[in-house]
Amino acid sequence: MNPDTDTDQQEELNEEELVDDQQPDTIESDTDEEAGEESVDEVQRWKELAARNQAELENFRKRMARDKQEAILYANTSLLESLLPVLDNFEFGLQAAQAESEGSQVFLGMQMVKKQMDDFLSNQGVEEVAADGKEFDPNWQEAVGQEASDDVPEGSVIRTVRRGFKLGNRLLRAGSVVVSTGPATEEEAG
């Protein structure tokens, strides 16, 4: 064998290896760029997912806080509803004591107890649904009668027979009212 030929062949092989070594670098570089783009896309997807989950968590916390407030506000609803007939009867007793003697100790004591009961209901968030002189609203009142009235326009409440109450925006008990039919006609008057 010729040593010069071997050296030439050796050099050619070395050059081919260099060429072969350069080609995979280019392919690896393209793959690295694609992998880098995929990584950026994946990172972006994870960021979006994290942001959505954070928003959902915040909405959940707000909803739970609102539900908790409502539960606290309306927790005593059945107790308050049961107390209203007791209050009605107490007011009837107060009216009877007043008719007997406004200066009696019994009447004065009953007035103080009624004030305490009204304050208690107010502290619980219970409000009376005012009706007298206002237009009849079937969402808040129930009509137990109709009467002619020269003073109160037709469709308005003449008087309240039983007071109505609400707790927040919820009706505890509809008021029982008498509604005006307007001025009396000649047939009704005669």
Q: Is the pLDDT of residue 17 over 60?
A: no
Residue 184 — very low, low, confident or very high, per pLDDT cuts 50/70/90?
A: confident
Closest by Cα among 148, 129, 168, 169 to 179: 148
Average pLDDT rounded to a whole number, residues 121-141: 91
How far apart are the C-alpha atoms of 87 and 21, rounded to whole Å? Answer: 98
pLDDT of 20 > 80? The answer is: no
Q: How far is CA 13 from CA 5, 7, 26, 27, 33, in A?
A: 12, 10, 20, 21, 31
Quote the DSSP letter at residue 104: S
**pLDDT recorded at residue 19:** 47
At 63, the amino acid letter reads: R
Q: What is the pLDDT at residue 11?
A: 59
Residue 110 has pLDDT above 50, yes or no: yes
Nearest to 106 by CA among 118, 97, 115: 97
Element of type H or E holding 143 = strand 141-147
> Which region among 18-27, 29-38, 52-61, 172-181 has the lowest average model confidence (pLDDT)?
18-27
- Residue 148 has what pLDDT? 92
| Confidence band, pLDDT 50/70/90 cuts, at residue 53 | very high
pLDDT band (50, 70, 90) for residue 185 = confident
- Is residue 2's pLDDT more than 90? no
Average pLDDT of the segment spanning 23-39:
63
Please report the sign of the dihedral spanned by the C-alpha atoms of residue 79, residue 85, residue 88, residue 94: negative
Output the six-digit token pair for 123. 């502290």
Average pLDDT value for residue range 134-148 = 93
Backbone dihedral region of 148: left (phi > 0), alpha (psi from -120 to 50 degrees) or beta?
beta
Average pLDDT (89-116) is 89
Give the mean pLDDT of 132-150.
92
Residues 46-70 as b/e (b if ≥16 CB within 10 A, e otherwise) read eeeeeeeeeeeeeeeeeeeeeeeee
Mean pLDDT of all residues belonging to the chain: 83
What is the mean pLDDT of the segment spanning 60-74?
87
The count of other CB atoms within 10 Å of the CB of residue 107 is 19
- Identify the band that residue 40 occupies on the pLDDT scale cut at 50, 70 and 90: confident
